[in-house]
């Protein structure tokens, strides 16, 4: 029996306007479409940054079309619960999981993150990941595409809501990994503090060594405060191409063999 909000099974074949893209350099594939929000380098970096447990339960808040869990699936035997408010994206995530043979480890829940703990139950997950909307409500240039607009703007849930949801869902000493914009790091830290999640790891992401950071990766723990470890910055590119660190991330993504 499905729980409230859980999507029913769907057929895996592509629908009109959809295509199959490869995840990283591996064998995993993902269903995407040009007129919907598509995964980018932030999902790849979040998956690489997350120190997921070898087994247990992982929840992805604001899962979109499922890129982060698909990228993580070969690094752990854990089961994944994908939560998103957009049925079209979650349906693509479900069919991507089926195409990758991961349907037995993936669960799909259509829910506002503010209600996720009511649907799924509190204190049950070992790890959480989230690539939440970066832009405040009314900030930036609104996208004429509703799917993209909801994915990029805090239309229904704020960063405070995402942090509270993670805190309620995580077991004591569970951890959550986030990818966010540097200009909103203070907002993220404030949200984590109010939710009693304590940052323990941070890594800046720069396009090139001479450029400002464009993303920040943060891991927080539900439990006693601990020292914050600032890891070496990640430079996406050096010289004429990807940095060695970035190539290593792509090699570990999507079920690559090495």
Ordered structural domains, the chain, with CATH: 18-251 (3.40.50.150)
* Residue numbers of the chain with a pLDDT score lower than 70: 1-12, 136-155, 254-258
Kindly tell me the burial class for residue 45, based on how many C-beta atoms sit within 10 Å of its own C-beta (0-12, 13-18, 19 or more).
buried
> How many Å apart are CA 120 and CA 4, to the nearest integer?
9
The pLDDT of residue 113 is: 97
User: Using CA atoms, how far apart are residues 162 and 167, in angstroms rounded to an integer?
Assistant: 9
Question: Please, are residues 198 and 221 in contact by the beta-carbon 8 Å criterion?
Answer: yes
DSSP helix/strand/coil, 203:
strand
CB of 123 within 8 A of CB of 172?
A: yes
Q: What is the DSSP letter of 236?
A: S
CA 135, CA 197: separation in Å to the nearest integer? Answer: 22
Give the pLDDT score at 138: 54
Tell me the three state secondary structure of residue 223.
coil
- Please give the pLDDT value at position 13: 79
CA 83, CA 59: separation in Å to the nearest integer? 7
Cα angle 182, 129, 52 (rounded to 5 degrees) comes to 115
Of 184, 132, 136, 134, the residue nearest 163 (C-alpha): 132
* Predicted local confidence at residue 148, as pLDDT: 44
* pLDDT given at position 55: 98
H or E element, residue 96: helix 87-99
> What letter would DSSP give residue 6?
B
pTM given for the model? 0.88
């Amino acid at each position: 029996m499905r729980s409230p909000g859980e999507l029913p099974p769907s057929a895996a074949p592509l629908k009109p306007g959809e295509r199959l893209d490869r995840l990283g350099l591996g064998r995993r594939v993902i269903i995407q479409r040009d007129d919907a929000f598509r995964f980018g380098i932030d999902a790849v970096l979040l998956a690489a940054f997350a120190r997921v447990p070898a087994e247990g339960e992982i929840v992805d808040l604001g899962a979109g079309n499922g890129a982060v869990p698909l990228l993580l699936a070969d690094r752990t035997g854990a089961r994944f619960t994908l939560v998103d408010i957009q049925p079209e994206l979650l349906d693509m995530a479900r069919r991507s999981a089926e195409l990758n043979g991961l349907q037995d480890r993936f669960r799909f829940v259509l829910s506002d993150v503010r209600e996720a703990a009511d649907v799924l139950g509190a204190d049950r997950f070992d790890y959480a990941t989230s690539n939440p909307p970066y832009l405040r409500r009314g900030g930036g240039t609104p996208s004429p595409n509703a799917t993209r607009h909801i994915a990029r703007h805090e239309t229904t849930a704020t960063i405070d809501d995402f942090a509270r949801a993670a805190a309620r869902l995580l077991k004591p000493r569970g951890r959550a990994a986030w990818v966010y914009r540097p200009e909103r790091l203070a907002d993220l830290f404030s949200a984590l503090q109010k939710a009693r999640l304590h940052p323990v790891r941070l890594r800046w992401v720069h396009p090139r060594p001479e450029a400002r950071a464009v993303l920040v990766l943060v891991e927080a723990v539900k439990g006693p405060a601990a020292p914050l470890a600032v890891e070496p910055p990640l430079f996406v590119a050096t010289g004429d191409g990807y940095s060695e660190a970035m190539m290593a991330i792509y090699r570990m993504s999507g079920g690559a063999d090495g």
